[in-house]
Amino acid sequence: MARGGRCAVKRVRAGGTRDATLHGVVKAYGIGPVGGEFVRADAGWPPALVAVCGHGGGSASYRLDGAALARLIERSEPDDTAALRWLEGDAVCAVLVDDLAAAGAVRDPDVVRLAEHLLAGRVEEPGGTTVLWRPVGPRELRLVEEAGWRRWPARLPDQPIFYPVLNEAYATRIAQEWNVPASGVGYVTRFRVETSFARRYPTRRAGGGHILELWIPAEDVDALNAHLVGAIELVSTCAG
């Protein structure tokens, strides 16, 4: 990727708060070797996994033998089968969670482990907010400013996903390596959203270490805006 320039930090006072909450329940699943890394973990309950585990509800973990894994591979979507085949010959753990936000209180250690995996890297504050960052170019920053620093603009037709990231270092890297070469300048913004809303979206690992982000579908941006807490802040400017 092309390299950009330096970033100057700008400190901005945060805005007020909102009282709205989200009462949705986020289901999630994971599968991997017993005690090891999950080879598949995401929101939702794949029907094939539910059927093979015989899961009736709630949050629980299961041990799958070779025959059960073979049935799961046979019934799964093509995108999943290659990853599942890596588990052949291993002792396999499958986890189904019925409420990701509350999974940490469940006594099953594999349920807790999956929740920690899917919510990794979050800056979750005691007051019920999650801090996120987003690198932007001049056009998007102008639209945010025109909205009074209280809303993110709708995505363009070729932008199906809104990508906030989970730490300032990663946001700064994107601003330097993408926004500066594309526009001559890049900006790093910070904002807060209700944690109950942010937990609808699992942590996505776009690379190693701190390369962590959320993938929010374009059609959910209005909902995101409804659950912002305070103002969007400009924290740094990157120039060539």
Integer CA distances (angstroms), 141 to 14, 145, 157, 171, 183, in order: 17, 6, 18, 14, 12
For position 24, what pLDDT does the model report? Answer: 55
| Residue 86 DSSP class | T
Radius of gyration of the chain (CA): 20
Q: What is the pLDDT of residue 26?
A: 85
Q: Which two tokens stand for residue 228?
A: 């912002």
Which H or E run contains 41?
Answer: strand 40-43
Res 19: pLDDT = 26
Domains of the chain, each with CATH number or no CATH:
6-23+121-239 (no CATH), 28-98 (3.30.70.2010)
Given this model, what pLDDT does residue 207 score?
A: 78
pLDDT of residue 235: 97
DSSP tag of 179: I
Structure tokens at 193: 């959203």
pLDDT reported for residue 204: 93
Q: Which residues of the chain have pLDDT under 50?
A: 1-23
Q: What pLDDT is stored for residue 144 in this prediction?
A: 98
